[in-house]
């Protein structure tokens, strides 16, 4: 379990990124931090592995204060996946995945075998093992980034807007792949995004942050959708603009679910009655809002659900972060190589 206990962060320029933040994140589930620019979500994530040091307060992992741990050792036991993958351009796919195990003095043969295993786990063809990042698509690079984050079999995986730089179709594939991996591995995942739809799709728990790292609302997607805690939350999730208010439309024998903007959100199955509507995606229900069926829905066609077409929001910069440059790791060599450097970002 990860616990934030009265955490605050003020940067040297006076910016208060996080103000007295306290929250417990349950183990083996996905907690999503979502908010607009300046809400402190990335700052909170980076304080877990001490890439950013808090000004005050404590962060505990299984009741152990991370401030008491060597930061390099801490980072090497926590998986970290960032936007744009952060791969080392002069290393092959296999070498990128094996980097941290080798830094942890894992024998080279074992690290390479683990890298091959993780390529399969994240859906990468083994033929890509000797390619360099520049020879991969954006989606393939992000899969390598996820594999590298899992390379030391961490209990905790930190993901900082990992799918924000890919096109919507690839993004959807990566989201579904993450849910599949989580069903298999059951990690404690802290995921940062600016996209509320992504948060509701991926999160077991969603924390909506306002400026200064204040918790506007924390709960399950169902709880937040059914009972927004404030006007700010209602506006952020789109409830006040009717975006979450769904209606039905008949088209060519199908009952379509239409959102408040007039966009098609999915199709309705015959078993659905009055109440919350969920459109399945990647093995987890996607929470769309509330809907009441009219009399025309008495005999609905038995149709498979499809994923909604949810647009992609543009990303915005966070509050100033501490710059942690990637180390110069050199070439991967024998099993005895373990330079005492920081984990690559």
Percentage, residues of the chain above pLDDT 90: 63
Identify the band that residue 183 occupies on the pLDDT scale cut at 50, 70 and 90. very high
Q: What is the pTM of this model?
A: 0.74
> What CATH number does the domain located at 2-231 have?
3.40.50.300
For 38-44, what is the mean pLDDT?
A: 94
Domain ranges of the chain: 2-231, 240-270
Q: How far is residue 62's CA from residue 205's CA, in Å, rounded to a whole number? A: 19
Q: What are phi and psi of 161, to 5 degrees?
A: 45, 55
Q: How far is residue 134's CA from residue 330's CA, in Å, rounded to a whole number? A: 18
Q: How far is residue 42's CA from residue 60's CA, in Å, rounded to a whole number? A: 18
* Unique residue bearing structure tokens 């079999």: 153
Neighbours of 306 (CB within 10 A): 14
Q: What is the pLDDT of residues 246-295, one digit of tens each?
A: 778 888 888 887 776 677 777 877 554 444 444 443 445 555 444 434 33
254 beta partners:
251
């Amino acid at each position: 379990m990860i616990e934030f206990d009265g955490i605050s962060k003020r940067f040297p320029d006076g910016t208060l990124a996080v103000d007295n933040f306290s929250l417990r994140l349950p183990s083996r589930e996905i907690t999503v931090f979502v908010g607009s620019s300046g809400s402190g979500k990335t700052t909170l994530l980076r304080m877990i592995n001490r890439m950013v040091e808090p000004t005050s307060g404590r962060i505990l992992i299984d009741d152990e204060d991370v401030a008491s741990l060597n930061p390099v050792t801490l980072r090497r036991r926590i998986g970290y996946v960032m936007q744009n993958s952060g791969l080392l351009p002069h290393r092959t796919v296999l070498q990128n995945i094996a980097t941290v195990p080798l830094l942890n003095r894992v024998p080279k043969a074992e690290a390479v075998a683990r890298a091959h295993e993780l390529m399969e786990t994240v859906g990468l063809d083994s033929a890509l093992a000797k390619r360099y990042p520049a020879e991969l698509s954006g989606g393939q690079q992000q899969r390598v980034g996820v594999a590298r984050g899992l390379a030391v079999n961490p209990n905790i995986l930190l993901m900082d807007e990992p799918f924000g730089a890919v096109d919507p179709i690839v993004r959807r594939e990566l989201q579904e792949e993450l849910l599949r991996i989580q069903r298999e591995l059951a990690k404690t995942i802290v995921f940062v995004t600016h996209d509320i739809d992504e948060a509701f799709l991926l999160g077991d728990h969603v924390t909506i942050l306002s400026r200064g790292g204040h918790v506007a609302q924390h709960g399950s997607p169902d709880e937040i959708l059914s009972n927004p805690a404030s006007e700010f939350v209602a506006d952020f999730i789109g409830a006040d603009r009717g975006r979450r208010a769904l209606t039905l439309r008949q088209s060519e024998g199908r009952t379509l679910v239409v959102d408040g903007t007039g966009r098609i959100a999915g199709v309705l199955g015959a078993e659905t009655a009055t109440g919350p509507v969920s459109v399945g995606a990647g093995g987890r229900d996607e929470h769309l809002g509330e809907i009441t069926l009219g009399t025309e829905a008495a005999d609905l066609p038995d149709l498979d659900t499809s994923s909604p077409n949810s647009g992609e929001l543009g990303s915005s910069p966070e509050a100033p972060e501490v710059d942690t440059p990637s180390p110069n790791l050199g070439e991967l060599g024998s099993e005895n190589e373990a330079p005492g450097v920081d984990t690559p970002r």
